[in-house]
Amino acid sequence: MSVEGKQKLRLLVTIASFGTSHDQYLDRLVEEYRSMSFDVDIVVMSNVAKPVPAGVELLVGLPTKDPWSLPFGHKKVLAERLESYDLFAYCEDDTLATERNIEAFLRVSAVMPANEIPGFIRYEEQPDGTITYCDVNGHYHWDPASVVRRGEYTFAFFSNEHAAFYLLTQAQLRRAIQSGGFLVAPHRGKYDLACTAATDPYTQCGFQKLLCISHLDEFLLHHLPNKYVGTRFGTHQSVFHKQMHALMQMAQNGSHVSALFQTETRLQDAWYSKDFYEPVRSLVVKEIPIAAREVLSIGCGSGETERWLANRGARVTAVCIDPIIGACAQGDGVEAIWGDLENIKKKLVGRTYDCLLLSNVLHLAAHPAELLAAFGSLLVPDGHCVILVPNLGKLKNVLGKLRGEKVFRPIGNFEESGTHDVKVSVLRKWLSAAKVHLTKTSYIVSEPKQKVSRLALGVADPLLANEILFVGRKAPN
């Protein structure tokens, strides 16, 4: 777009700014928008009256009594001013978008179908100058089947649609409003209340957010506080770039490899989904005998535990959830393989293992008994099987179901939620079919509840524990 064209483009920016603690970032955002060559108007929505830069409109008030409802206020503003602007932005007051970001959005939108919107992803800066991606964490992952080319651009879907920012053209905003899913009361959807306000265009207005992975640097937004650096809410660029390389290879080769199975549940906030970046758990690895030279890990994520075992001397085969996260697990003594269950079984024909590891995946498999039978058959006589699962039968869930609360009712019902309640009695039957005998069951009780556990002499642990660790052993010949 020419400079003259940019000057004619009218951009309306709505910013949610709760309280005053982020005012330094708010000022930085306003400064950036003011520097753009577009015709920009800025509306700040806040729960309190406060000074804002000259020329910025301040709207004070909450849509509901819940303070987290503040972000929903921007929707009415956008709808009321639909005919007055060409482009519409929403952002939180600590997420910085630049003119380069907006130009990239306009350029890439031109090659996308009407139901697709180019999205953004946030990063933070580390003291050493490298960056981490704060939206890439936990159960959020790439869809390996979503890789697609549009002209010179390559796109893929990332399951975390929240980036504290979005852009819509006038046509896209009009379509969102007409869908009936945009002008809605504050509500909690796939995400919490605040994040839902920023993701409704994708989750209930008929649009799909795709990230332009071939030009991703043009769609990066700086999360100014850098507050997640060094925490579990962030993935370092060295790990993330491996995923980008895997995605681009898939696009170049035209390959479409299926995920092992669905790892994201349909429960509120995706409870009990697989953590793709699961750390090494001492309570798990200590159950894997040092003498186990060949280890098979089913449902591997980024490979922290598998690398730890390889460094200890084991030869590790990691059956990864998909080829994208598999690119992170591969190497350093870990052989990473991927595909659907049938393809994996073919790849492992003739192999045997001393230990089978399933960490927080068995409850997500559509047919867990078949999964255990297939891989349990690869265990040598006296081989070990170590299984970690979330405790879906803990007291909070039991009480929630008894009270008839909607969010708890589907837990453990695979058809409704994508989760199985892996109980001792059920698992014993599954393992028996694989000729594996359950030898140990440990209920993992968090530290705040351990006093109650001791007072109850462990009897209440099945209701107190967040996780259950099972250890089994293959029958000798």
SS3 348: coil
Take residue 364 and report the two structure tokens written for it.
Answer: 């997500």
> Is 262 a domain residue?
no
Residues 183, 241: one domain? yes
DSSP state, 76? H
Residues 243, 272: one domain? no
* Average pLDDT estimate for 99-127: 97
* Number of domains the chain is built from: 2
Q: Final residue of a domain: which of 202, 225, 253? A: 253
Q: What is the pTM of this model?
A: 0.93
Mean per-residue pLDDT of the chain: 95
Are the beta carbons of 359 and 281 closer than 8 angstroms? yes
DSSP state, 178? H
Residues 248, 274: one domain? no
> Is 259 a domain residue?
no
Q: Which segments of 180-301 does DSSP mark as H helices, in order?
A: 193-203, 237-253, 282-285
Residues 28, 106: one domain? yes
Residues 124, 245: one domain? yes
For the domain that residue 111 is a member of, what is the CATH number?
A: 3.90.550
Question: What distance in Å separates the CA atoms of residue 38 and residue 102, rounded to the nearest whole number?
Answer: 10
Are the beta carbons of 72 and 63 closer than 8 angstroms? yes
Q: Other CB atoms closer than 10 Å to residue 160's CB: what's the count?
A: 23
> Is 260 a domain residue?
no
Percent of the chain with pLDDT over 90: 92
pLDDT at 6 over 50: no
Domain carrying residue 205 = 3-253
Residues 333, 437: one domain? yes
Using 50, 70 and 90 to split pLDDT, how confident is the model at 312?
very high
366 half-sphere exposure, CB direction, 13 A CA radius: 7
Residues 104, 161: one domain? yes
Residues 294, 186: one domain? no
> Is 261 a domain residue?
no
> Is 272 a domain residue?
yes
Residues 113, 35: one domain? yes
Question: What distance in Å separates the CA atoms of residue 230 and residue 379, rounded to the nearest whole number?
Answer: 38
Take residue 421 and report the two structure tokens written for it.
Answer: 């309640």
Complete edge-to-edge strand list for the sheet that includes strand 334-337: 334-337, 315-320, 294-300, 353-359, 379-390, 467-474, 436-444
Residues 149, 55: one domain? yes
> Is 263 a domain residue?
no
> Is 12 a domain residue?
yes
pLDDT at 2 over 50: no
For the domain that residue 314 is a member of, what is the CATH number?
A: 3.40.50.150
Q: Final residue of a domain: which of 253, 281, 310? A: 253
Q: Final residue of a domain: which of 197, 221, 253? A: 253
Residues 155, 280: one domain? no
* Average pLDDT estimate for 323-346: 93
pLDDT at 253 over 90: no
Residues 50, 167: one domain? yes
> Is 258 a domain residue?
no
Name the one residue in this structure whose structure tokens are 């939180």: 92
- What is the DSSP secondary-structure string of 287-330? TS-TT--EEEEEEE-S-HHHHHHHHHT-EEEEEESSHHHHHHHS
Q: What are the pLDDT digits (tens) for 47-72?
A: 999 999 999 999 999 999 999 999 99
Name the one residue in this structure whose structure tokens are 């952002």: 91
pLDDT at 212 over 70: yes
